[in-house]
A and B are shown apart, each in its own frame.
Chain A
Amino acid sequence: SQQGEEDPQALSIQEGENATMNCSYKTSINNLQWYRQNSGRGLVHLILIRSNEREKHSGRLRVTLDTSKKSSSLLITASRAADTASYFCATRESGGGADGLTFGKGTHLIIQP
């Protein structure tokens, strides 16, 4: 079953603008991770935020986590054409992790040059 649900399903913006994607999940988590997938390729890990963290930065990426609302957001600032990809959130449930990471269906981001 899907734990994370990304929103929106698709997003198209102009190069240079900021892109924001959201993820909601259902159960208590150990950590939440964001991945990027270019068309037909494997996923690339972007950033991991632990359940006791509220915000994390990595380059042009900013991730927030609100455990009370069971939600996370990924912000990509100053977008580039190369950022065009699908973005997935993935969660690891607390107290186990035996199910592997549970992925959402992704947000497809298109950056218009």
Chain B
Amino acid sequence: EAGVTQSPTHLIKTRGQQATLRCSPISGHTSVYWYQQALGLGLQFLLWYDEGEERNRGNFPPRFSGRQFPNYSSELNVNALELEDSALYLCASSRLAEGTAALHFGNGTRLTVT
């Protein structure tokens, strides 16, 4: 079974630009989660999608947005990039929308904003 795949692995952008990060969940998983892992801050919850709908979002400004496609893959968009957006962005998927399922993570996209 293929794992969660994220692309690109690395992304370098200039402040003010927009970034698009992509995630393909494990086959059969309908829930996709996005997390930001900045240095020294642990994992911060960004967004949760299930069955194509945004179920919840973390404490991030509206310039962080995303969507989930009919095939359950997902995109994270970050507009008007700021230097502090530099981080590892992790996508995870699970089989159930409820809280009992473990999350399966991709290896992340390293976003660097200069």
Interface footprint category on A: 20 to 34
> What are 9 residue pairs bridging A and B, where the CB atoms are less than 8 Å apart in the complex?
A31-B99, A42-B92, A42-B107, A45-B103, A93-B99, A97-B98, A100-B33, A100-B35, A101-B33
Contact with B along A5-33 (1 / 0, CB 8 A): 00000000000000000000000001101
Question: Are B104 and A45 in contact, with the CB atoms below 8 A?
Answer: yes
The answer to the question of A71 belonging to the interface, with a C-beta cut-off of 8 Å to chain B, is no
The CA of A101 and the CA of B59, in the complex, are separated in Å by: 14
The answer to the question of A67 belonging to the interface, with a C-beta cut-off of 8 Å to chain B, is no
Known: A97-B98, A98-B48. Contact between A40 and B88, CB under 8 A?
yes
Known: A42-B108, A106-B42. Contact between A92 and B99, CB under 8 A?
yes
Where the two chains meet, the residues of B that have a C-beta atom closer than 8 Å to any C-beta of A are 4, 33, 35, 40-43, 45, 48, 55-56, 58-59, 88, 90, 92, 98-100, 102-108, 110
Where the two chains meet, the residues of A that have a C-beta atom closer than 8 Å to any C-beta of B are 1-2, 30-31, 33, 35, 40-45, 48, 50, 88, 90, 92-93, 96-106
Question: Are A30 and B99 in contact, with the CB atoms below 8 A?
Answer: yes
Q: How far is the CB of A96 from chain B (nearest CB, A)?
A: 8
Which residues of chain A have C-beta atoms less than 8 A from B48's C-beta? 98-100
Which residue from chain B places its CB closest to the CB of A95 in the assembled complex? B99
Which residue from chain B places its CB closest to the CB of A103 in the assembled complex? B43
Q: How far is the CB of A48 from chain B (nearest CB, A)?
A: 6
Question: Are B105 and A44 in contact, with the CB atoms below 8 A?
Answer: yes
Which residues of chain A have C-beta atoms less than 8 A from B104's C-beta? 45
The CA of A1 and the CA of B45, in the complex, are separated in Å by: 9
Question: Are A99 and B4 in contact, with the CB atoms below 8 A?
Answer: no
Question: Are A48 and B102 in contact, with the CB atoms below 8 A?
Answer: yes
Which residues of chain A have C-beta atoms less than 8 A from B59's C-beta? 1
Pick the contact of B99 from A43, A97, A106 — CB < 8 Å?
A97
Which residue from chain B places its CB closest to the CB of A41 in the assembled complex? B107
Question: Are B56 and A98 in contact, with the CB atoms below 8 A?
Answer: yes
